[in-house]
């Protein structure tokens, strides 16, 4: 994993639980307001990736240090635990406009959510249009595991 491209983490997006920083070419780190959420997300993502659910490649937790620069604002000169993962290219559910594209995304989304239930996850919030991306080669990638849970003893049987 190459880290030389972005010396200063650059904020590219944020949601309600954290902010997303580009830390290298094709690599982002999610920094949450609570470190327990970060650890939980990294653990769930590692498990989901291992089980073959379509998510960004997870690289675990790494300390992300922000330089003492004005542009870093509140983050300047501080270090945070970041959940590091592949940056997925494509459109989030919010950015999908074309009805065919939307329909395709929903079919893929349903399939991935069912797979997650079958493997013992409860993928809460996965249908939120800010929590998935349709890639240019028509794959769906789920992310934002803050509200997911995992219990391998109780795979859920889906009958719909």
Ligand X SMILES: Nc1ncnc2c1ncn2[C@@H]1O[C@H](COP(=O)(O)OP(=O)(O)O)[C@@H](O)[C@H]1O
| Binding partner selected for residue 30 from Mg ion, ligand X, none, CB under the kind-specific 5 to 8 Å limit | ligand X
Place of tokens 């028509």: 138
22 φ, ψ (degrees, to nearest 5): -80, 125
Minimum CB distance to ligand X smaller for 86 or for 110: 86
Q: Look at residue 148 and give its three-state secondary structure.
A: coil
Min dist CB 132 to ligand X, Å, is 9
Tokens of 6: 């972005």
DSSP letters for 21-59: EEEETTEEEEEESSHHHHHHHHHHHHHHHHTT---PPEE
Min dist CB 151 to ligand X, Å, is 21
Min dist CB 17 to ligand X, Å, is 3
Q: Which residues bind Mg ion (CB under 5 A)?
A: 15, 130-131, 144
Q: Which residues bind ligand X (CB under 6 A)?
A: 13-18, 20, 28, 30, 56, 85-88, 92, 130-131, 143-144, 146
């Amino acid at each position: 994993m190459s880290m030389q491209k972005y010396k200063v983490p650059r904020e590219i997006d944020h949601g309600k639980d954290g902010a997303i920083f580009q830390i290298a070419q094709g690599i982002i780190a999610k920094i949450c307001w609570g470190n327990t959420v970060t650890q939980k997300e990294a653990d769930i993502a590692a498990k989901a990736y291992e089980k073959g659910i379509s998510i960004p490649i997870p690289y675990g937790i790494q300390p992300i240090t922000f330089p003492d620069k004005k542009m870093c604002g509140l983050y300047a000169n501080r270090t945070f635990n970041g959940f590091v993962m592949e940056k997925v290219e494509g459109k989030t559910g919010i950015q999908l406009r074309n009805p065919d594209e939307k329909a395709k995304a929903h079919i893929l989304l349903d399939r991935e959510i069912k797979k997650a239930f079958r493997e013992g996850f409860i993928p809460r919030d996965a249908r939120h249009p800010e929590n998935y991306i349709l890639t240019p080669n028509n794959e769906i990638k789920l992310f934002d595991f803050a509200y997911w849970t995992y219990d391998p003893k109780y795979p859920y049987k889906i009958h719909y």
